[in-house]
Structure 1
Amino acid sequence: MFRKLVISVLMIVVLAGAFAGWQFFAANTAFPQKSKYLYIYTGHATWPEVLKSVKDSNLVKSPGMFDLLATKLDVPEKLKAGRYEIKNGMSLMDITRLLRNGTQAPVKLIITKLRTKENLAGFLGRKMEVDSLDVLTYLNDSLKSLGFDSNTVMAMIYPNTYTYFWNASMQNIFDKFHEEYKRVWTDERRQQARNQGLTPIQAYTLASIVEEESTIRTDKDTIASIYLNRFKKGMRLQADPTIKFAMKDFTLRRIHTKYLSVESPYNTYMNAGLPPGPICTPSVITLDAVLHSPQTNYLYFVAKSDFSGRHVFTTTFDQHVKVANEFRTALSIEQQKRAIKDSLERHK
């Protein structure tokens, strides 16, 4: 009788161990998505908070067993802040090892076109652990030693893909931005800027205007030549995108006369020379269009009346007025057609 009891107890122990092992090593994620992320914030990397986040996010089916395993493997003592990718189908052991080893999932920051410091701060605040207000402070105060002020600091930011850990420090984030800036500004590009009578920051600022003026790659260098001609002659640039920037209204499709008197150092209709800093983050392609812009006599340009996105370039104001009137007439006709079409659609 005693022997049977011992065997029964042993079987129960073995089965319990097998069940526990199955719990530890079998898939235990509780969500249908391909993956979810567990965020452990700097200064808040305590095990009770992490365990609560695991439960609240419905990451695992067995939070109690996860707590037991993690505690046995000293995870609470070895916990590191970061962003951890929990993939569907991971076991409790997989997740525990991930946290124990501090194996973070990197964040890819894909910067395309940003217009303002606030845009950049908000972008970093959404993607990284840093606070957007702290980013703004850093942009305004902490990059002067690198040659940038609160107006020109965005000239350090180039569209590209940057890879970080989610909890990277502010300095680490901007160090990588500055490395890209130095990579772009080779000795050859610096010489090309000098040949155009520009500093790197001025070239970037002009490129930001060209970037906003046209998406047509083959037009960009000629547009740049027009602004360079105006700049060298002491003419006002009269660049419409600078009005949008001055008004902080990037939805404007047409710049009406009433907008041209907006009080701002970025209003190139009222102020001579380049604006105090860039109005967006231009691509390197556009920067090179500025640096390689040809010698022309053009002083004016306007969009073609066929709405192809291309431009007509002229040397005199009278020529410009003629072409501009053609575009306005074509635009009015196009708008009337759209209005009629919309009206017919509404009355169907």
Structure 2
Amino acid sequence: MKIKKIKLFSFLFIALIASLFVYNIYKKIYKEGTIKDGYLYIKSSDKFSDLVKQITPFIKDTTDFKWIAKTKKFNQPKPGRYHINEGISNNELINLLRSGKQSPVNLTFNNQESLEELAKRIAEQIEADTLQLLNAFTKADFLKEKGFTKAQALG
């Protein structure tokens, strides 16, 4: 009779410890992981370590975030602008960054005198540099698609 009680209590103790362990893992993954709303800007050159530095002000615990990212094999963020909502879990956050579901970037420019000035103004607001934009603006395929000629674009 005593042996049965010892086995029963041992089993219950092990089950309790296992339950606490599983609950702790569940909590790390699904608890609220973000503490504020905001936008996160990831460049195409950013690595995971850069992402962790940028995301630190938004999340409660960087250790949990890194552990979940490692578990989900998330190591290369997709570049873009991401809206981080307050109160989402680390799992949801990693899924957002992994999916590449970005928020649009609003560009503003007023009456630029030339394509060079337009390219410069836009390059100040996005990752592409002035030369890349200028080359894209003067590319024959792009101009033809938009119904322009090179002379009209440079005019």
Normalization by structure 1: what TM-score?
Answer: 0.36
Cα distance change of structure 1 residues 124 and 145 upon mapping to structure 2, 3 Å threshold: closer
The structural deviation recorded for 1:122 is 4.0
> What corresponds to 1:130 in structure 2?
128
Aligned to 2:112: 115
User: 1:8 maps to which residue?
Assistant: 13
Quote the residue 1:36 is aligned against: 38
| CA distance 1:143–1:40, shift in 2 (3 Å) | closer
Decide which of 69, 92, 95 is 1:94's aligned counterpart.
Answer: 92
| Deviations 1:26-61, CA, capped at 9 Å, x for gaps | 322122xxx3222222233x2222222222xx1110
CA RMSD of aligned residues (A): 3.3
Gaps of 5+ in 1: 147-170, 186-199, 205-275, 278-348
Equivalences for residues 166-245 of structure 1 within 5 A: 175=142, 178=143, 181-182=146-147, 201=152
The offset of 1:72, in angstroms, is 0.9
Cα 1:24/1:131, change in 2 over 3 Å: same
1:85 positional shift: 2.0
Determine the C-alpha separation between the residues in 2 that align with 1:75 and 1:24. Answer: 14
Alignment of structure 1 residues 329-344 onto 2, 5 Å: none
> Which has the bigger relative contact order, CA under 8 A and spacing at least 6?
2
SS in 1 for 2:51: helix
**Residues 67 and 9 (structure 1 numbering): CA distance in 2 closer, same or farther, change over 3 Å?**
same
CA distance change for structure 1 residues 4 and 29 in 2, over 3 Å: closer, same or farther? Answer: same
TM-score between both structures, scaled by the size of structure 2: 0.71
After superposing on structure 2, the runs of 4+ consecutive aligned residues of structure 1 that deviate more than 6 Å are none
> 1:179 and 1:61 mapped to 2: Cα distance?
50
SS in 1 for 2:21: helix
* Residues 1:88 and 1:122: Cα distance change in structure 2 (over 3 Å): farther
Indicate how the Cα distance of structure 1 residues 99 and 3 shifts in structure 2: closer, same or farther if over 3 A, else same. Answer: same
Question: Compared with structure 1, are the counterparts of its residues 179 and 95 closer, same or farther at alpha carbon in structure 2 (3 Å cutoff)?
Answer: farther
Stretches of structure 2 lacking an aligned partner (at least 5 in a row): 1-5
C-alpha displacement of 1:87: 1.6
Distance 1:144 1:120 in 2: 12
SS at match of 1:127: coil
Q: How many residues align?
A: 147
User: CA separation in 1, counterparts of 2:39 and 2:107?
Assistant: 16
For the residues of structure 2 that align with 1:38 and 1:107, how far apart are their CA atoms?
Answer: 12
